[in-house]
Amino acid sequence: MGRDKGPDKGRVMDRVIGRDKKPASPLGVNVGDALPPFVLPVTSTVIVAGAIASRDFMPAHHDSAFARAQGAPDMFMNILTTNGYVSRFVTDWAGPEAMVRKIAIRLGAPAVPGQPLSFSGEIAQVSDEGDERVIEVTIRAANDLGDHATGTVVVSLPLPRPITGSSS
Amino acid sequence: MSKEEVDTVREQLERFIGQPMGAPATAPEAVNVPMIRHWVDALDDRNPVYLDDELAATTRFGGLVAPPAMLQAWTMPRPKIEGIAERGGAPDEMGAENVVTALDQAGYVGTLATNSELEFFRYLRPGDLLQTTNSLESISERKRTGLGLGYFVTWVTRFKTSDEEEVGRQLFRIFKFDPATIGGAS
């Protein structure tokens, strides 16, 4: 205890999944429930790793001088990476059976090095379609510059199958 | 001469609406585990359905699937690194004339992405080879925003596999603006 190692992804995840906030069970959620929050420590490495993994070689996503010359405060995260973290934020909570059906975001303040991005989410709608539960989550990823991304993510989860006898 | 008066630019853009934007593009390679692993590590996304065969086989997916947000990554054009900064970040020379280059030439050289709406109809599996088509949905009337005068341009990209199954779609909107008109100057 009391160790000060600075921001560390493992510790952030412990806190997110963690014990201090009871995450809503994905199938049992109600409208208004909050997702476990998540804070991404945004660094140049985070931005470049996402850009290259998404095969986006635009200089604004790896070259600070280029980005500044274009009027941005610094190199900034590309949209594919933002969508990737939004997806991860929701499936970290919803689990491996979740299927993301939709990610609709409005883009705002850039995600730049040194500005942690705070992800928050709230259940906006729950409905059943056939053998799936469909959950709409309102999400926000914000930093000190403002809202980086706001919008909705729709995920579906298989409903437990009733235990019955022979189906023939 | 004020740009507020006659909007001849908008009239010239009308012909692009509803038209394809460029030729259909095919992914350089099929959905594959090495690229998935690269993404999983880059974003530290530990959902086991992306890389854990055994666990993935027990889920509704029945095997490994690609992270949904990688959809666009599969069909990103191969970049030509030399000169990329001079091209404003475009991966390669722009082909035939399109709405973006037409707006650039008319002085609306600023670009700001404003909306992305991704829909996934099914998750991709290793071996899926994607093709995309883009069509221009709409161009707004000229608007004044905090960035200056410009147009909201919206297009839709459809992602299909080689057997024509539509697996995903993206609506994308940008604001193309003239930085010289910021703050109401004309």
Residue A28 Ramachandran class (φ > 0 left, ψ -120 to 50 alpha, else beta): alpha
pLDDT interval class at A24 (50, 70, 90): low
Report the distance separating Cα B143 and Cα B149, nearest Å. Answer: 6
With respect to residue B92, please indicate whether it lies within any of the assigned structural domains.
no
pLDDT band at A50; cut points 50, 70, 90 = very high
Per-residue pLDDT tens digits for B142-186: 999 988 999 999 999 999 999 999 999 999 999 999 988 887 644
Q: Are B45 and A54 within 8 A, CB to CB?
A: no
Cβ B115–A104 below 8 Å, yes or no? yes
Contacts of A55 in chain B (CB under 8 A): 73, 76, 79
CA A35-A155-A28 angle, 5° bins: 55
Q: What is the pLDDT of residues A115-162, one digit of tens each?
A: 999 999 999 999 999 999 999 999 999 999 999 999 999 999 999 877
Q: Does A55 touch chain B (CB under 8 A)?
A: yes
Give the one of A60, A102, A107 whose C-beta lies nearest to B119's C-beta.
A102
- B134 in any annotated domain: yes
DSSP A34: B
Q: Considering chain B, what percentage of its residues have pLDDT values greater than 90?
A: 69
Any chain B CB within 8 A of the CB of A65?
no
Residue A130 amino acid letter:
G
Total domains in the fold of chain B: 1
Q: What would the DSSP string read from start to end of B29-87?
A: S---HHHHHHHHHHHT---GGGT-HHHHHHSTT-S----GGGHHHHTPPPP--TTTTTT
Q: Is B149 left (phi over 0), alpha (psi -120 to 50) or beta?
A: beta
Domain membership flag for residue B139: yes
Asked if A59 lies within 8 A of B89 by C-beta distance, the reply is yes
**Contact A79/B at CB under 8 A:** yes
Q: How confident is the model at residue B67 (pLDDT cuts 50, 70, 90)?
A: very high
CATH number of the structural domain spanning residue B121: 3.10.129.10
Q: Is residue B129 part of a domain?
A: yes
**Chain B residues closer than 8 Å to A53 by CB:** 35, 38-39, 41-43, 73
Residue of higher predicted confidence among A82 and A70: A82
Contacts of B24 (CB under 8 A, 6+ apart): B131, B132, B133
* Greater model confidence, B136 or B2: B136
Residue A85 has pLDDT above 60, yes or no: yes
Test the A interface: residue of B41, B116, B166, B178 with most A CBs within 10 Å: B116
Q: Which domains does chain A have, with CATH numbers?
A: 23-158 (3.10.129.10)
Q: What residues of chain B lie within 8 A of the CB of A107, using their CB?
A: 113-116
Which residues touch B140 (CB under 8 Å, ≥6 apart)? B151, B152, B153
Q: What local confidence, expressed as pLDDT, does residue A41 receive? A: 98
Residues in chain B: 186
In a domain, B71, yes or no: yes
Structural domain containing residue B173: 8-76+97-181
ipTM: 0.92
- Residue A47's H or E segment, with its range, is helix A44-53
- If you ran DSSP here, which 8-state letter would residue B20 be given? B
